[in-house]
A = this chain, B = another copy of it.
């Protein structure tokens, strides 16, 4: 979680920019433009940190679209335009074409236009993704209200479970949730619907714990995750109860959404919002930590 210290510097330097939601306040920035808001975000993936074993080049492209658009989903924004800046070791046309085809496929699936980008050379393969979306209103991780319930869009921990199975020597074919690891899908449609009724929203990229802490702090509320509402059956098929809970709370890579609302027909209820500070799992404080992918 080394980047959080650096993010404080970003907030310090850029929090006074004339944006409706400036840097550091959310996963994206909002700027009023005409009758709506433009929403901006970027994310980088590289072969050392983000591409699991057995990943295919097309999936490098899908992943950069997926993780970048997840920030738009976590802002209730409709995708408009995607760009990528790719750094490669050499001008490998076949690799490049496959990555671009992966970008195209995932962009079409999530209805965002690809406006090209930049090509550079560097000793490792990395791809920076940039996305612009639009939103009718501002919804961020600030805004949760005491009395709200806490929801997630789907069970968590699947990506990290698969990653750890790979580390233990399993093949891709053996993984129960390979798609979650190799081709995460941004919850764009869900985000658009949730934005209509929720009070706060964010995506879960590093871990439920980290997203909950950021939401709690931004909204100035206490978050209580209720142990009895956590269903771990998607994980306990493969690991013990303790490990399953660890994966659910502290692992990343699922790119689901966390949101608070009075009620929701979407998602799974996992807790409640109260007056106060901090994030609790039942009566215990939840640590601010998450698994990085590698």
Q: Chain A residues in contact with chain B, CB under 8 A?
A: 2-3, 5-7, 9-10, 13-14, 17-19, 22-24, 28-29, 31, 33-35, 38, 40-46, 48-49, 80-81, 83-85, 87, 90-91, 93, 96-97, 100-101, 104, 113-124, 126, 128, 130, 132
Q: Is A46 within 8 A of B9, CB to CB? A: no
- Bound-complex Cα distance A46 to B114 (A): 24
- Bound-complex Cα distance A93 to B113 (A): 36
Q: Is B17 within 8 A of A101, CB to CB? A: no
Report 20 cross-chain contacts, Cβ distance below 8 Å, ordered by A residue.
Answer: A3-B120, A10-B116, A10-B117, A17-B113, A19-B115, A23-B114, A23-B116, A29-B115, A33-B80, A34-B34, A38-B80, A40-B81, A40-B132, A42-B83, A43-B85, A44-B118, A46-B122, A49-B122, A85-B85, A123-B124
> Nearest B residue to A121 by beta-carbon distance?
B49
Inside 8 A of A115's CB, which chain B residues have their CB? 14, 17, 19, 22-23, 28-29, 31, 40
Q: Quickly give the copy total for this chain.
A: 2
Known A85-B42, A124-B122; judge A96-B130 contact (CB<8 A).
no
- Bound-complex Cα distance A102 to B185 (A): 35
Question: What is the minimal beta-carbon distance from A205 to any residue of chain B, in angstroms?
Answer: 11
Q: Is B126 within 8 A of A126, CB to CB? A: yes
A114 partner, pick from B14, B84, B126, B128, beta carbons under 8 A? B14
Question: What is the minimal beta-carbon distance from A37 to any residue of chain B, in angstroms?
Answer: 12
Q: Is A85 within 8 A of B120, CB to CB? A: no
**Among A18, A48, A81, A115, residue most surrounded by chain B Cβ atoms (within 10 Å):** A115
Inside 8 A of A123's CB, which chain B residues have their CB? 48, 123-124
Inside 8 A of A2's CB, which chain B residues have their CB? 90-91, 121
Q: Given A5-B91, A17-B114, 19 more contacts at CB 8 Å?
A: A3-B91, A5-B93, A6-B119, A9-B96, A18-B113, A22-B115, A24-B116, A29-B83, A29-B115, A33-B33, A40-B81, A40-B115, A42-B118, A42-B128, A43-B118, A85-B85, A87-B126, A120-B126, A128-B130
Q: Is A87 within 8 A of B6, CB to CB? A: no
- Bound-complex Cα distance A83 to B113 (A): 19
Inside 8 A of A33's CB, which chain B residues have their CB? 33-34, 80
Q: Is A40 within 8 A of B114, CB to CB? A: no
Inside 8 A of A130's CB, which chain B residues have their CB? 40, 42, 83, 85, 128, 130
Inside 8 A of A44's CB, which chain B residues have their CB? 85, 87, 118, 120, 128
A93 partner, pick from B9, B93, B101, beta carbons under 8 A? B9
